[in-house]
Chain A
Amino acid sequence: MIKSIFLRLLKITITEWSLFFKDPAAILILVVAGFLYSIYYPLPYLHEITEKVPAGVVDHDKTDMSRQIIRMSRSMQQIEVTEIYENAEEAQKDMAAAKIYGYLEIPQGMEAEIRKGNNGTLGVYAHGAYLMLYSNVATAFSTAAATVGATIEVKRLGAKGYSAKQGMAIRDPLPVRFLTMFNGIGGYGAYVVPAVLMIVLQQTLLIGICTLGGPRKNRHFHSLRGKDISENEPLLFRYFGRSVAYLFHYLVFILFYHAIIYWLFDFPRHGNVFVMFVFAMAFFGAVINMGMWIAQFFSRRETGMQILVCVAIPFLFMAGFSWPRESMPLWIQSIGYFLPSTYAVPGWIAIENMGATLFEIRHYIFHLYGLSIFYLALGLLLAKRNDLIKHFHELRNVTTGSRLYCTVLKRFHR
């Protein structure tokens, strides 16, 4: 009995899995897309961090001190001072033409004021449209100015009789050391790509299931000719047999990302394979059941793909990898509760990039299993309903067909 159930399930699983490599649409989505996107997406971030951002200095002062500030700015790793301007308008024009992404303005009479014992203010102007470049320009010029300022301040304190060490302690009595625990170099690729990979897996899997009709009975695909028996198995066999095919197929992707993609692009790789396996079962379980449910709403194979491609960007941002979920409006958070990616993105980053244990990510796993059960119930209920409707239509067609046949026969006999 158990053996026969297992064999029937296995047959459906193999039929479905072979479809991934026979059906042209399935090959593209379930085989090619997962590989292609994982190599294509990290490409912009190959250099990981932005260095030597072109920047300028507007020097109205033209003194030793202003030159010292410029020299200090030139030594900063984040920027490259490409131009010294006579006035701010020239710098602004170059900023508009994207020749520089920010500039430092040194006011006239700065050195004279400081020599008098007063303080000076430097203006740092960064382009508001570029998030990362703004940070580079602001940090580099502020650090350069702070370093020159610290030297001046320690000299002033020295004049009051304090030693250099005391001067430094007075200037900064509570120094702060900033340490990054994960993604040590602050690489942009290691920050973005893991989240994108989870979205790629989720979306391709959802689109794939929609393209192949989910748990539908008797699908009319060219590649399924002669597979009538497995196509017309009872719902539970069809549903779980096909789900297993998707599950195992996508487990290969997780291993591929862990072993090849992370190695190829040199992302931090701390994941434990067992933890990854438990996580993947929960994640794919939720996505497959969600796919099995939504696939039943699309009557044409391409519709699912068209809609799901367009929602990938919102899904990515709703997962909170870039913007904390706590800072999102409640209605967006509520939609997020129903998406596997909301838990999969932080879960995967915690496992693979931060080396989390199963205990540390238990809440993500529980949520994903919860979603699995929720979508399983929805998927099965809808599939059962659709099966019943299809059965009813078949019965009606048979009845209508037999009536028609009888009428034709009667007429023929007359």
Chain B
Amino acid sequence: MLSALIHVFKGTYLKRNAPLWILIFVLPLGGSILMTSLLSRELPRNLPMGVVVEETSQLTGRIIKSIDASPTLRVETYCEDVPTCGSLMRSGDIFGFIMLPAGLEKKAYRMESPVISVYTNAQSLLTSNLIIKELRTVVGTQGVILEPRNLPDPLRTEIHVVGNPTGSYLYFLAIGLVAAVFHVVAMISSVFVFSYPIREKKVTVWLREAKESPVIAVLGRWLPLVLILWVEMLLMMVFVRGELAPMGNWEFVMLALASLAMIGTCTAVSIVFVGVTGSMRIATSAAAVVGGPAFAFSGQTFPVLAMPFFVRCFAYVLPITHFLQIQSAMLLGNIGLTSAFHSLQILLGMMIFWLLLGILTMSWQLKKCGEKEDD
């Protein structure tokens, strides 16, 4: 059996096949490195802002200076009025603007609470939230300087982001994005690996290598593919989580098993696509439909609980949803392990189910294609 498995492996992976190398090495590693580098600054800095100033006073000067001095914002331009700044926002030149009204300083000293308006662009939610957060602090600080009678807040809140103490977007998004890259690559590369002999009419050669056993034929191609992608994913995950709290042994084992189960499930689902359709083109399309938008359904950016019921059902069929649930539970340390273990069981169950179904459908497809080739 082992020699047959090795024969299938040699016949599949040790031959010159540029698209296969691109699919299993270049795209997953390149895509993950790109996504991680993209978010490497952890938080956006120097977001360009506009200012509409209706009066020139010491207070407005101080507010503008402190906006420019904040690490998140910088004053890009001064506008004559609100529509001009609105137009610059549509052009993408600024992400938001502040309007300092006429009589601001006078009204503030008279304790008339003059309102400062801040306009943000919610078409860009991240920058909008950052601007709101930063300007609240900047203007609040100027308010404290202006009003010495101001008492410290009797009830302060300290916000703790559990598992991501710095609130870095790298950890919010990068883990999910790397998983999403591997999710789609695993599905597409598996389609390629299993439909390639069908397209090239080499099913009989493949079966001969597997000593006419469809189970060995499938496993001989599936096991190395899973192993390669799993090692790559594990490396990337360890790299992304590098600056988070160090993983304990159990956490590492959990991460390794979760990655293995996700890659295993994705590749097994694609075997079923090939087994049912027998066509590289249609199986690739099916994998693209399921794997391409999976990140949107995974609950990382938009919570699953806020999705309509039928979409939620689909989300739970996707391996990436369970993988990311394991990741989020692991961020909570030892307390999260029980919940992570539950998701892992589901993921492993899914992998076994799809693999068995894949072997079944592929056996049927191989028999059919083999007969066709013999004819």
Contacts and interface: CB of A to CB of B under 8 A. Distances in A.
Interface stretch (B108-116, B221-229, B230-238, B352-360): B108-116
Interface stretch (B19-27, B212-220, B260-268, B362-370): B19-27
Interface in B299-332: 299-303, 305-308, 311, 315, 324-325, 327-329, 331-332
Nearest to B301: A131
B122 A129 contact: no
From A29, A37, A129, residue with most partner B Cβ within 10 Å: A129
A323 B172 CA distance: 12
B108 A178 contact: no
B11 interface: no
A302 B281 contact: yes
Nearest to A69: B155
Contacts of A377: none
A179 interface: yes
Contacts of B92: 346, 350, 364
B175 to A, nearest CB: 8
A47 B306 CA distance: 7
B155 A149 contact: yes
A146 to B, nearest CB: 7
A361 B306 CA distance: 34
A46 B308 CA distance: 7
A128 B331 contact: yes
Contacts of B301: 131-132, 188, 192
Contacts of B284: 302, 305-306, 309
Contacts of B311: 43-44, 46
A28 B185 CA distance: 20
Contacts, number: 360
A356 B91 CA distance: 7
Contacts of B191: 306
B285 interface: yes
Query: What secondary structure prevails in chain A residues at the interface with B?
Result: helix
A180 B89 CA distance: 11
Contacts of B111: 165-166, 169-170, 173
Given A96-B338, A321-B124, A360-B87, A123 B160 contact: yes
Interface in A233-287: none
Chain A interface bracket (under 10, 10 to 19, 20 to 34, 35 or more): 35 or more
A354 interface: yes
A311 B27 contact: yes
Interface stretch (B1-9, B36-44, B202-210, B246-254): B36-44
Contacts of A126: 159-162
A97 B158 contact: no
A186 B297 CA distance: 19
Interface stretch (A5-13, A216-224, A325-333, A394-402): A325-333
B120 interface: yes
A114 interface: yes
A179 B188 CA distance: 44
Contact of A119 (B95, B152, B306): B152
A131 B305 CA distance: 14
B85 to A, nearest CB: 9
Contact of B289 (A36, A97, A101, A135): A36
A181 B86 contact: yes
A346 B311 CA distance: 28
B115 to A, nearest CB: 5
A83 B308 CA distance: 24
B327 A37 contact: no
B173 interface: yes
B339 A25 contact: no
A324 B44 contact: yes
Interface stretch (A150-158, A384-392, A403-411): A150-158
Contacts of A149: 153-156
Contacts of B122: 180-186, 191
Nearest to B23: A306
B125 to A, nearest CB: 5
Nearest to A106: B155
A177 interface: yes
B153 A324 contact: no
A314 interface: yes
Contact of B155 (A93, A128, A152, A184): A152
Nearest to A305: B284
A311 B288 CA distance: 11
Contacts of A89: 335
A302 B280 contact: yes
Given A177-B118, A182-B122, A309-B184, A45 B38 contact: no
Given A44-B302, A313-B177, A145 B120 contact: no
Nearest to A363: B91
Interface in B87-125: 87, 89-92, 95, 108, 111-125
Contacts of B173: 131
11 contacts: A41-B293, A41-B296, A45-B302, A119-B156, A128-B167, A131-B172, A184-B122, A188-B301, A310-B27, A310-B185, A350-B92
Given A124-B159, A328-B41, 15 more contacts: A41-B296, A43-B311, A97-B338, A121-B157, A122-B155, A129-B175, A142-B157, A146-B157, A169-B147, A171-B151, A176-B135, A177-B118, A182-B122, A323-B39, A327-B45
3 smallest beta-carbon distances between A and B, as pairs: A128-B164, A129-B328, A149-B155
